[in-house]
Amino acid sequence: MKVLLYTEGQSTLSRSGIGRALLHQMKALESAGVEVTLDPNASFDLAHVNTIWPKSRTLVKRLKKQGIPVIVHGHSTYEDFRESFRLWRVLEPWFDANLRKAYSLADLIVTPTPYSRKLIEGYGLGVEVVDVSNGIDLASYAPSPERQAAFRAAFGLKEGEKYVVGVGFPFVRKGLLEFFETARSFPDVKFFWFGSLQRIATEGKVLRAIKRRPDNVIMPGYVKGELIKGAYEGATAMLFPSHEETEGIVVLEALASYCPLIVSEAGAFSPWLIDGVNCLKGKDVEGYRAALLKVLAGEYDEKMLEEGYRTAAERDLPKIGERLKEVYSTLLLKKGKLS
């Protein structure tokens, strides 16, 4: 079996969840022994398309005419486009139309969680939807004191100094405003928000909030590789008060790093994230403050960290590779392309 993994505008999306998902797909499929190409002009048995834009849809139409089965990945929903980029209200009808067109062309839609599967099924597209996690490269998050020390040195943190991390585009949807308000209640704790977006694409209310953010909130922009892993490993907690997600790869990264996790009650985090078992949840700033107070008081115990790590381990890339291979094989059999 040979599979095309296609992402339109790959370089532009490299800092997004879609860009991370593509890298995860490549590594997962390699571990499962599935041959992969990124060249849409190569020969392959099945296409797995990660984007919904016009060039992607043109490719999907061409491949279907050639009798090649096509999976479109459900990274996005109508719901998670809201409260994102500047002018999202103006762009929403256009975005929703693009999403509907792209998803309707698919032979199968793969999306990360049962929650996003139910949302997409509710659009009435007449296309089967299955959920497969984006996964996590568990081995690459093995504890490293060197990484932690490098992060502390990079940001002038003293040994043992407490800090909280948040990761994502500076969107209202990602809970940035709640992150700032929670930070105001803990002036002696540093709060780092990792993620960047061009000013022209950032909502005005977000730009104003960033300008007025508390003095203890540090925004270094986009940070990757060993530095962000060191940040997770040494953090007092990760606070991710997102309003809407399809999964949230950064959540898996925190769990894989044995980092205490505080999340919202967003639908994507149910049922696999359980308050008091493998994370703490809040529904508003008051709830996030209360959760962080528990972490600071030592109430986020080793058992919860282990449960969180186990949750991430269930989504380790080799397991995701086998699941994707199963999904591909089932579709090829259904289309009479595999005997």
Q: Which two tokens stand for residue 43?
A: 């020969």
Measure the CA–CA gap between 181 and 288, rounded to whole angstroms. Answer: 10
pLDDT score, position 19: 76
Within 243-320, strands assigned E span: 261-263, 280-281
**Residue pLDDT tens, the chain, 339 long:** 999 999 986 554 545 568 788 899 999 999 999 999 999 999 999 999 999 889 999 999 999 999 999 999 999 998 888 888 887 878 888 889 889 999 999 999 999 999 999 999 999 999 999 999 999 999 999 999 999 999 999 999 998 899 999 999 999 999 999 999 999 999 999 999 999 898 998 999 999 999 999 999 999 999 988 999 999 999 999 999 999 999 999 999 999 999 999 999 999 999 999 999 999 999 999 999 999 999 999 999 999 999 999 999 999 999 999 999 999 999 999 999 875
Measure the CA–CA gap between 113 and 106, rounded to whole angstroms. Answer: 18
Q: Which residue has the tokens 């879609």?
A: 18
Asked if 183 and 191 count as a contact pair (C-beta separation under 8 A), the reply is yes
Measure the CA–CA gap between 91 and 88, rounded to whole angstroms. Answer: 5
Any residues with CB less than 8 A from the CB of 264 and at least 6 apart, and which? 175, 240, 241, 242, 243, 281, 282, 283
pLDDT score, position 261: 98
Measure the CA–CA gap between 63 and 56, rounded to whole angstroms. Answer: 11
pLDDT score, position 17: 64
Sign of the torsion formed by the C-alpha atoms of 292, 293, 297 and 301 = negative
The pTM (predicted TM-score) of the whole model is 0.93
Any residues with CB less than 8 A from the CB of 37 and at least 6 apart, and which? 2, 3, 4, 5, 44
Q: ∠ CA 168-174-178 to the nearest 5 degrees?
A: 115
* Residue in 286, 291, 242, 293 with CA at minimum distance from that of residue 264: 242
Asked if 261 and 254 count as a contact pair (C-beta separation under 8 A), the reply is yes
SS3 for 254? Answer: helix
The torsion region of residue 110 among left (phi > 0), alpha (psi -120 to 50) and beta comes to beta
Q: How crowded is the C-beta side of 77, counted as CA atoms within 13 Å?
A: 23
pLDDT score, position 90: 80
DSSP-based helix, strand, coil % in the chain, nearest 5? 45, 15, 40
Measure the CA–CA gap between 119 and 110, rounded to whole angstroms. Answer: 12
pLDDT score, position 82: 86
pLDDT score, position 14: 47
Measure the CA–CA gap between 134 and 18, rounded to whole angstroms. Answer: 9
pLDDT score, position 15: 53
Asked if 235 and 141 count as a contact pair (C-beta separation under 8 A), the reply is no
Amino acid residing at 99 = L
